[in-house]
Structure 1
Amino acid sequence: LPFLTAAQKRTLLTTLDPLERLRQAVAALREHLAEQDVAESIAKDVQEGVDRQQREFLLRRQLDAVRKELAELNGEPEDEGEDYRARVEAADLPEEVRKAAFKEVEKLERASDQSPEGGWIRTWLDTVLELPWNFRTEDAYDIPGAREVLDADHAGLQDVKERITEYLAVRKRRAERGLGVVGGRRGGAVLALVGPPGVGKTSLGESVARAMGREFVRVALGGVRDEAEIRGHRRTYVGALPGRIVRAVKEAGSMNPVVLLDEVDKVGADYRGDPSSALLEVLDPAQNHTFRDHYLEVELDLSDVVFLATANVLEAIPQPLLDRMEVVQLDGYTEDEKVTIARDHLLPRQLEQAGLVADEVGFDESALRKLAAEYTREAGVRSLERAVSRVLRKVAAERELDRAELPYRVGVDELRKLIGRPHHTPESAQDPAERRTAVPGVATGLAVTGAGGDVLYVEASLADPETGASGLTLTGQLGDVMKESAHIALSYLRSRGVEVELPVGDLKDRGIHLHVPAGAVPKDGPSAGVTMTTALASLLSGRQVRPDVAMTGEVSLTGRVLPIGGVKQKLLAAHRAGVTTVIIPQRNEADLDDVPEEILEGLDVHPVTEVRQVLELALTPAESAAPPAHEVPVAA
């Protein structure tokens, strides 16, 4: 038994019992066989590992040989690291970016083929090399030509056109005097276009880029909740990407594009961060020349980019972000502008969509005006475009059914046959007995919504004393501020009603109900204060509110009429609704400079300072009034 040790052999020899000696020998043999099995298993595993490594080594050598042959055929460097090094050397990169790129190339050359870091480095280098670090398009310094492009693409919107013209004029003078870069910053701009839907905010970005001779990129921010969408992800994350700003610059192919940040008021926030806070550096002209994306980790100069942000509601934009932008209000189109837009822009586009040409279907201007005034009521032109499209589809269908012949002329009489009756008949066009203000206690106000300006009716009624009702009831989904305006109006009339010759003695004994249709639409704001006061005064005096009068303004406890916002949008809404007389606060008189001349010519605007003046203008004369409210148990 050669596998026994000397001690085991000595033990066997000293054991005299043959049976016991045999048991010890068998046990030693079993241990030896077990050790041999383990040794053979290990040797087999080692041999298999060596064989696999040898096979992989041979395959990789063959793969390298194939790559070498392909590189020689294509004239490319054999080593991937050498390839990236050559690309970095050939690229026109800023000095700091070049240093960072060479550092990553060295890491790539040291990394093994199996390391996942190699893939991250290659993706980062590809991104850096694709960015147009030192390429800029030449601005078009033909200022009259740029203004012609803006005028041809958009009717109205004078404020935006003036601002872009000013920007180009300043850029031209700076270029002529060699003032390209001052303090590391260039002459970019950050404009916020705020207005109702359908007024052309998004399409204006393309016109601005074309007028300036720059590339245009649109970045949709509606519903974005992740802060990394703006600043990018860290490179250590799987599937990391640069932020939308860097991708926009890469897509544009230049460092001075026009970037449209669409729907900036719809940006959300959750546990992943606040994207609107990440936009603070992007949209700050004093900081964005050193913008640092989390993925790139090198500085990117955004100071030459023209940022245009669009929003529907100004209040939804965070104040720090709003402070970094120059706000340009787009308050909707007048009826004349809508007719011009429909004739010059919407109709040609919808003719093409319907498979028709201009010689086959034509619109009278009166038909376009009726479409804009009575078939649609909006600040923008989207519904108007849908109405034009609907008319053209009807004409095409009638022609295919042999019920109409081309060419077809669409006039006012044809509109009703094609698309039915109008949906928005002005209040002034209705029979006097059917108007809302035909009874005391109803006044016409003006409001601003996310879709532009609109008229707002306030209805008031007094409860019968026998019912025992008391207090003030408010309905119509009113917000806290609007509810406070109603209480202020009631308190003013209780304390000062005698001064304006109103019978207010029995107000304490009767319940008052104020309702603001439409009841399903939430409403808020202080600008309905004078409207509520007028409705209550009309109810108490029995004098109707003039049907051609609309009003807006905040009211105080002392009867002062305080300034409000959105005057231009409210006057446009009054004009659309057929109102001829508008009452506004005296301190808002300066806002009339922004209202188009043709609107002011069609409206009789009265700036007032006190509620007494409002009541004198809004209520019908006392001799033609109905009996006062204290003689009529139940009013409007």
Structure 2
Amino acid sequence: MTITLARQHSVYDTKAVESAQERARAMKSVELEAFYENMLELGGERFLTTPSTADALDPLYEDCPNFGEVLDDLSRYLGLALAGGASFNVMPVLLLGDPGVGKTHFGKRLAGVLGTEFEFISMNALSAGFVITGSSSSWRGAKCGKVAERLVRGRFANPVVLLDEVEKATGSTQSDPMAALYQLLEPETSRAFHDEFIDLDLDASQVFWVLTANSLEGIPPALLSRMAIYEVPSPTPEQAAAIAQKVYAGLLKELKLQQMETGLSDSVLDKLSEISPREMRKALLDGLGFAVAAGRSGLTPEDVRVKPDVCKRRIGF
């Protein structure tokens, strides 16, 4: 059995927050003063989690079977961290692959096995770096960035933060989303990450960064040098069948359908083999409805009704 070990880690200095609150009060910035008050109430300490054994990542080999290469490396790094009593803090991971191979799902499951929180940031929708770094409190509608939001209001110093489609990030010369990443993806400089809204340094050095991209085009070489890059293939037919069985088992448990057969037939798996897990879930949910309505305890290929154009998509999450 894997137990998540946790210790306290300081994310910000409460004395610095008190001084900043005084300045906000002098400037009559009610919103900023209230934010600092919230920071003081929460305190500057957050949990830093580490699984108690390197086997903690084993479930991901089954749930995300096409991520074997990255899981092999992470398992070794976790073993090293446990051997030395250090925190599990690896260099940022870039998952490179076609749309739909399961990159976001992997990030969510990784956060789950590490016993920490998950933050999703779509870089494709990012028109400026403010979403990451926050915007100046002097601006109308100003607020802190997502990194500060997670570290301040979350419970953990080491959340998994997934930056999706990083190659599609755009921005202005005043607020380049890539610029913030140069600091955040470097261990030394991320210890004093400055959010523009709260105007304080935060320790973001324990954040577990997962970046995704469909290609390397558009990502500066200097940024790539800060990451471990993994090419993620689409699942093989055998892996797709295993994923379908997992989705099916999860639905039976969720819906408490104890009367249904616990496994799917080869003919049903063949029909599901080219569908993404999200589509698998809907197809299996509908199929279970048809089977239960017909009074059967197992699914038939006819129960799995998939649109022909959907079947042609790559499997993914």
Short-chain TM bin:
0.7 to 0.9
Aligned residue for 2:98? 196
| C-alpha deviation, 1:254, in angstroms | 2.2
Alignment match of 1:213 (pick from 115, 124, 134)? 115
Alignment match of 1:407 (pick from 297, 307, 314)? 297
Return the letter of the residue paired with 1:160.
V
Aligned residue for 1:357? 257
Secondary structure of 1:139's aligned partner: strand
Between the aligned partners of 2:152 and 2:215, the Cα distance in structure 1 is 30
Alignment match of 1:248 (pick from 129, 142, 150)? 150
For residues 198-223 of structure 1, the C-alpha deviation after alignment (integer angstroms, 9 at most, x for no partner) is 32211222322233333333333331
| C-alpha deviation, 1:230, in angstroms | 1.4
Aligned residue for 1:28? none
Aligned residue for 2:64? 154
Aligned residue for 1:309? 211
| C-alpha deviation, 1:224, in angstroms | 0.9
Q: 1:130 to 1:163 in 2, by over 3 A?
A: farther
- Does 1 or 2 have the higher relative contact order (CA < 8 Å, sep 6+)? 2
Secondary structure of 2:111's aligned partner: helix
Alignment match of 2:283 (pick from 364, 372, 390)? 390
| C-alpha deviation, 1:339, in angstroms | 0.7
1:216–1:252 CA contact under 8 A, matched in 2: no
What fraction of aligned residue pairs are identical, expressed as a percent? 24
Aligned residue for 1:169? 79
Secondary structure of 2:46's aligned partner: coil
For residues 157-197 of structure 1, the C-alpha deviation after alignment (integer angstroms, 9 at most, x for no partner) is 1112112212212222332xxx67xxxxx944311112223
2:21–2:37 CA contact under 8 A, matched in 1: no
Q: 1:331 to 1:283 in 2, by over 3 A?
A: same
| C-alpha deviation, 1:137, in angstroms | 2.7
| C-alpha deviation, 1:141, in angstroms | 2.7
2:49–2:115 CA contact under 8 A, matched in 1: yes
Secondary structure of 1:359's aligned partner: coil
Alignment match of 2:235 (pick from 333, 339, 342)? 333
2:61–2:67 CA contact under 8 A, matched in 1: no
Q: 1:406 to 1:247 in 2, by over 3 A?
A: same
For residues 515-544 of structure 1, the C-alpha deviation after alignment (integer angstroms, 9 at most, x for no partner) is xxxxxxxxxxxxxxxxxxxxxxxxxxxxxx
List gaps (5 residues or longer) in structure 1.
1-91, 181-185, 427-449, 453-636
Query: How many equivalent pairs are there?
Result: 305
Between the aligned partners of 1:102 and 1:222, the Cα distance in structure 2 is 37
Indicate whether 1:284 and 2:177 are aligned.
no
Indicate whether 1:102 and 2:3 are aligned.
no
Aligned residue for 2:7? none
Between the aligned partners of 2:162 and 2:248, the Cα distance in structure 1 is 26
1:218–1:261 CA contact under 8 A, matched in 2: yes
Secondary structure of 1:315's aligned partner: coil
Q: 1:321 to 1:130 in 2, by over 3 A?
A: farther
User: 1:554-593 alignment to 2 at 5 Å?
Assistant: none
User: 1:342-381 alignment to 2 at 5 Å?
Assistant: 342-343=244-245, 345-350=246-251, 357=257, 359-360=259-260, 363-372=264-273, 376=274, 381=275
Secondary structure of 1:226's aligned partner: coil
Between the aligned partners of 2:166 and 2:215, the Cα distance in structure 1 is 10
User: 1:29-108 alignment to 2 at 5 Å?
Assistant: 98-99=15-16, 101-102=18-19, 104-105=21-22, 108=25
Between the aligned partners of 1:392 and 1:121, the Cα distance in structure 2 is 47
| C-alpha deviation, 1:272, in angstroms | 5.7
Alignment match of 1:119 (pick from 30, 38, 41)? 30
| C-alpha deviation, 1:105, in angstroms | 2.3
Between the aligned partners of 1:408 and 1:106, the Cα distance in structure 2 is 67
2:92–2:211 CA contact under 8 A, matched in 1: yes
Between the aligned partners of 2:67 and 2:182, the Cα distance in structure 1 is 27
Per the normalisation by structure 1, the TM-score is 0.42
Q: 1:127 to 1:295 in 2, by over 3 A?
A: farther
2:157–2:207 CA contact under 8 A, matched in 1: yes
Indicate whether 1:262 and 2:173 are aligned.
no
Aligned residue for 2:44? 133
1:188–1:285 CA contact under 8 A, matched in 2: no
Q: 1:130 to 1:308 in 2, by over 3 A?
A: farther
Return the letter of the residue paired with 2:211.
A
Q: 1:120 to 1:151 in 2, by over 3 A?
A: same
2:101–2:232 CA contact under 8 A, matched in 1: yes
For residues 98-143 of structure 1, the C-alpha deviation after alignment (integer angstroms, 9 at most, x for no partner) is 14623642763xx4xxxx6241551342354266533233412311
2:94–2:230 CA contact under 8 A, matched in 1: yes
For residues 8-41 of structure 1, the C-alpha deviation after alignment (integer angstroms, 9 at most, x for no partner) is xxxxxxxxxxxxxxxxxxxxxxxxxxxxxxxxxx
Q: 1:279 to 1:142 in 2, by over 3 A?
A: same
Higher mean Cα deviation, 385-394 or 248-257? 385-394
Between the aligned partners of 2:11 and 2:296, the Cα distance in structure 1 is 62
Between the aligned partners of 2:179 and 2:11, the Cα distance in structure 1 is 29
Return the letter of the residue paired with 2:145.
G
User: 1:372-521 alignment to 2 at 5 Å?
Assistant: 372=273, 376=274, 381-382=275-276, 386=279, 389-390=282-283, 393=286, 396-397=289-290, 400=293, 404-410=294-300, 414-415=301-302, 419=305
